[in-house]
Amino acid sequence: MIIRRMQRIREAVVLILLTICSKAANSKAHWWRPETGEAWGYCLSWRLAVEANNIRAWRTVPTECLRHVETYMIGGQYERDVTLIVDNIWNYVDTITLSNDGFDAWILDVDDTCISNLFYYRGKRYGCEPFDPLGFKAWALSGESPAIPDVLRLFNKLVETGFKVFLVTGRDEQTLGQATIENLENQGYFGYQRLILRSGAYKGLSAITYKSAIRKQLVGEGYRIWGNVGDQWSDLQGECAGNRTFKLPNPMYFIP
């Protein structure tokens, strides 16, 4: 009799423990990693929503996601994601038959597409601090942005294949034009058709409006835009976006 009671008590205790564990597994607490003290699962979901453009007009990375974004950007996953995207672009390029008129075009964004601002944003806690226009201008003028290796590999492939590659950036033409040209050249970007920076005529326009106008102008010149690559959705939205668009990951900032 005593043995049976003890067995029932043990069974009841096990059942209670299993119930508690099951509830914990389905609660938000399950996603917290004690080694970081951050809601890792929430931040993973936040980053996915950002990349899918379900979260828009966000100003800064949530403070609790600092370590998550840092780990993503410097821990190897960012590079793997970019490699996968570029490999798929490469496969798409191989399916295209170019004409002989020289008007087959491709568009690449510059910042965090061709060249990386990761070193700058590391000092801004990977986007947890508000954007600093003067600080970024000083960084851009230094010309120290390194090439993103897989995008440089893609760029060379496009040029060698015969595409006219246009580099389109929201950087100010008057203040950052020469520094941007030198930075790109120092990182191995040679042979592009044209670097287009934001001139005074486009000052104050949103990125979508500005880049749409540039693409519309290129189409008006007779160019066929086969592909368009950028790290912001505003690089890829609007008029004349191209036959295919490709979004590179960037959880550090949002440009409308």
Query: Please, are residues 168 and 214 in contact by the beta-carbon 8 Å criterion?
Result: yes
As a whole number of angstroms, the distance between CA 43 and CA 176 comes to: 34
Domain identity same for 138 and 230:
yes
The CATH code of the domain that includes 209 is 3.40.50.1000
- The secondary structure element, H or E, covering residue 246 is strand 244-247
Domain identity same for 66 and 142:
no
What pTM does this model have? 0.85
Number of domains in the chain: 2
What residue numbers bound the domain in which 199 lies? Answer: 86-247
pLDDT tens-place values along the chain, 256 residues long: 444 444 444 444 333 333 333 344 334 433 444 345 558 899 999 999 999 999 999 999 999 999 999 999 999 999 999 999 999 999 999 999 999 999 999 999 999 999 999 999 999 999 999 999 999 999 999 999 999 999 999 999 999 999 999 999 999 999 999 999 999 999 999 999 999 999 999 999 999 999 999 999 999 999 999 999 999 999 999 999 999 999 999 999 999 9
Whose CA is closest to 96, among 2, 35, 186, 162? 162
Assess if residue 218 is contained within a domain.
yes
As a whole number of angstroms, the distance between CA 55 and CA 120 comes to: 24
- Cα angle 249, 191, 94 (rounded to 5 degrees) comes to 60
Tens digits of per-residue pLDDT, 25-70?
334 433 444 345 558 899 999 999 999 999 999 999 999 999 999 9
Q: Which residue, of 75, 106, 138, is where some domain finishes?
A: 75
Q: Which residue, of 11, 40, 75, is where some domain finishes?
A: 75
Assess if residue 228 is contained within a domain.
yes
As a whole number of angstroms, the distance between CA 40 and CA 53 comes to: 20
As a whole number of angstroms, the distance between CA 167 and CA 235 comes to: 11
As a whole number of angstroms, the distance between CA 173 and CA 196 comes to: 8
Helix and strand numbers, DSSP H then E, in the chain: 9, 7
Domain identity same for 128 and 152:
yes
Domain identity same for 47 and 106:
no
